[in-house]
A and B are shown apart, each in its own frame.
Chain A
């Protein structure tokens, strides 16, 4: 009887296996090399470089968006909030160490997974940010374009990191973005440009910039380890 049940369960899983795949974002390239957009063969090193480039750009654009938003909407006395690094960023289930020595001790696996989780955790909040910004009366186009651009690039970055994980860690992973928790509660329709809404978005941007910096730092550390094992080890 038990054996029968086990067999049934196993058959269920096997039959449902395509369903699992269908949820996943299809990666067309089945071979070991995979790039972000096309099935061109690319070395792991180059892929890592590209991923780092993405992270750098995202970080830079996030900073520019934050500055734009601050100049446009945030009253001057509250600019000091920025230097405070953002409070109440939506917490993640795992702590990320902040000291260099601790970070240097993080394993490759943990680095990549952290980056992936960061990327995935920011996809929905950025969309939320975009919708609220669109409702602002005088949001500058540059700001809207940048947030839109960042959302797109995050998707690419996610794909790249997934491939890296698969390649470097030999782990298959599902890239469904519905996995992460919804930490941002959807707000009711509030009138935009109320200070509360402004501050919330400001905080969001600051937190995103911080997390983008984390992604970039982790990836660069990973690259350093890949290329030169000696200088990246803590001493």
Chain B
């Protein structure tokens, strides 16, 4: 090792190209040993375990140097050298090494640079630095594999920037400033060793600044100030229009409100007042009647009190099915309806129809539309919009009571047994007295399916025996003014306009020419100033007696497409 500080010691051994090496020593503080020849170097190669040999060449020009030339330099072998004073036979220092571990390559040569590019702003530029390996290193043969390190700094600065090791002979330097002068230098070492050689001479790099730089300076300033001004303006605007912006961006959520009822009442503990309010009809009736004229047509069937006692309203509304009584299409046979005369006297097989109407029991039990008129007007109002998917049921030809039913039939009554009493197209009574009216021709109407809405599939099943309804063009369509027989719907209500196998009721006008059959639900065309709903008046009154359902739609009187106001009703009376 090189540790002994006082006496004679080796100061170092170095090889430049891995082919020769030199060792130096110092006499230390022992001045009496400085004379040449007093201290001698002996070496031994560990491989051969040979005896100690003296330094093959003491360099004459340099003091205290021992030079091992090519023949004496072996790599992959371990050398041990000793510093001895022969006269005293004392070994002052000894060290062992391998030649590869003492190789410090010469600096690379031929360092130069070329400009790669200059940035758009003209402030920065990139260069490519190139060099050549030191001539003493035999890189070509592979005797030495070198790694290079490039360093650069601003001229006369104190700190050198170091780049990563490079095994090639060129490297790029990015991001240099145009107005500064740089120094670049490079050094190398053997790969797998850590002994760097000396640095090469520095080269100067300088790129003149392009004068277009001045124009960019005020532009950035203007931009910055503009942005700041904008931000200030925006903040001021927001603060000044705070309220308005709050409304625009955060609209108030409407609180739940029932018309005419103070929201306070809805809070806890004020149920009594609420009930009294609700029960008082005066508040509701006029408005409701104006807005929902069809409600007027709802009538209570008081003919069968016995039936009404059978079940409660709630159960009916919820569609709770009873034990299967006659859950078939149930209809009241009103003599003056005259419907029976226009159809074949066949009466559908109850079992067949029962099979088609699953889940029903009783008459009209499950019809949610059915409700006590007085107490359930709000419900009806709610349910009105939910009827859009009601599909008509094409009745068997022998179902007379269905014949006169429009697609949308007005629910006139609700039987406690579960049947829905519908009024036919005729409207004899005035709307005000609907509830007490009992002359209305009522056709209990049972809808298929639990929800009292006939699905298309079941409706198709119903029509299985019946030839398909007329082509799509006569199915569900949008025909605001056109009179399509049997179809009282506005096309908007219909779900599909495609191949409608869906049968629908073929309403027929009663033989009694009282009124043309009016659909219970017609389309509202507009609302006039008095909040009356204007409906499509029926355009014609075709033959009352419909054809058999086997044909296409029998000629039916044009059905009004809207809802009839009481006023218009009078106009319809022939």
Contacts and interface: CB of A to CB of B under 8 A. Distances in A.
A56 B78 contact: no
A209 B71 CA distance: 24
A101 interface: yes
Contact of B141 (A80, A96, A99, A224): A224
B192 A60 contact: yes
Interface stretch (A2-10, A16-24, A81-89): A81-89
Given A60-B192, A63-B192, A80-B1, A232 B75 contact: no
B461 interface: no
A221 interface: yes
Contact of A100 (B96, B97, B143): B143
A172 to B, nearest CB: 28
A104 B191 CA distance: 21
Contacts of A85: 46, 76-78, 96-98, 100-101
A198 B429 CA distance: 114
B366 to A, nearest CB: 74
B140 A232 contact: yes
A232 B141 CA distance: 6
Interface string B129-147: 0000000001011110100
Interface in A63-117: 63, 80, 82-87, 95-101, 104
B85 interface: no
B73 interface: yes
Contacts of B138: 100
A97 B18 CA distance: 14
A231 B392 CA distance: 103
Contacts of B96: 83-85
Nearest to B192: A63
B136 to A, nearest CB: 12
B142 A221 contact: yes
Contact of A101 (B46, B70, B97, B192): B70
A231 B138 CA distance: 10
Contacts of B70: 99-101
A60 B147 CA distance: 12
Contact of A213 (B1, B19, B71, B76): B76
Which applies to chain B's interface (DSSP): helix, strand, loop or mixed? loop
Nearest to A59: B192
B74 A99 contact: yes
B191 A60 contact: yes
Interface in A18-61: 52, 56, 59-60
Chain A, interface residues (CB within 8 Å), range: 35 or more
A220 B141 contact: yes
Given A100-B143, A221-B142, A228-B140, A84 B75 contact: no
Interface in B62-78: 70-71, 73-78
Contacts of A210: 76, 98
Contacts of B76: 85, 96, 98, 210, 213-214
A74 B232 CA distance: 66
Contacts of A80: 1
A216 interface: yes
Contacts of A219: 142
Q: How many residues of B sit at the interface, in one of the four size bands?
A: 20 to 34
B142 A223 contact: yes
Given A56-B145, A83-B97, A217-B143, A99 B71 contact: yes
A100 B18 contact: yes
B100 A213 contact: yes
Contacts of B1: 80
Nearest to B98: A85
Contacts of A52: 142
Nearest to A95: B47
B141 A86 contact: no
Interface string B73-100: 1111110000000000000000011101
A209 B101 CA distance: 12
B43 to A, nearest CB: 14
Given A99-B75, A209-B192, A213-B192, A87 B141 contact: no
A138 to B, nearest CB: 25
Interface string B165-204: 0000000000000000000000000011100000000000
A219 B19 CA distance: 18
A219 B143 CA distance: 10
Interface in A198-235: 209-210, 213-214, 216-217, 219-221, 223-224, 228, 231-232
Contacts of A87: 46, 78
A100 B142 CA distance: 11
A232 B74 CA distance: 18
A198 B75 CA distance: 26
Contacts of A86: 78
Contacts of A96: 76
B97 A84 contact: yes
Contact of B77 (A83, A98, A101, A223): A98
Contacts of B191: 59-60
B141 A98 contact: no
Contacts of B18: 100
Contact of A98 (B75, B142, B193): B75
Interface string B432-473: 000000000000000000000000000000000000000000
A51 B102 CA distance: 28
A83 B141 contact: no
A235 B197 CA distance: 26
A221 B141 contact: yes
Residue from the set A56, A84, A101, A221 with the largest chain B CB neighbour count within 10 Å:
A84
B68 to A, nearest CB: 10
Contacts of A217: 142-143
A215 to B, nearest CB: 11
7 contacts: A85-B46, A85-B96, A85-B101, A99-B75, A100-B75, A101-B71, A213-B100
> Which 4 residue pairs of A and B lie closest in terms of their CB atoms, listed nearest first?
A220-B142, A98-B74, A85-B98, A63-B192
Interface of A: 52, 56, 59-60, 62-63, 80, 82-87, 95-101, 104, 209-210, 213-214, 216-217, 219-221, 223-224, 228, 231-232
Given A85-B96, A100-B18, A100-B19, 6 more contacts: A83-B97, A85-B46, A85-B101, A98-B73, A99-B19, A220-B145
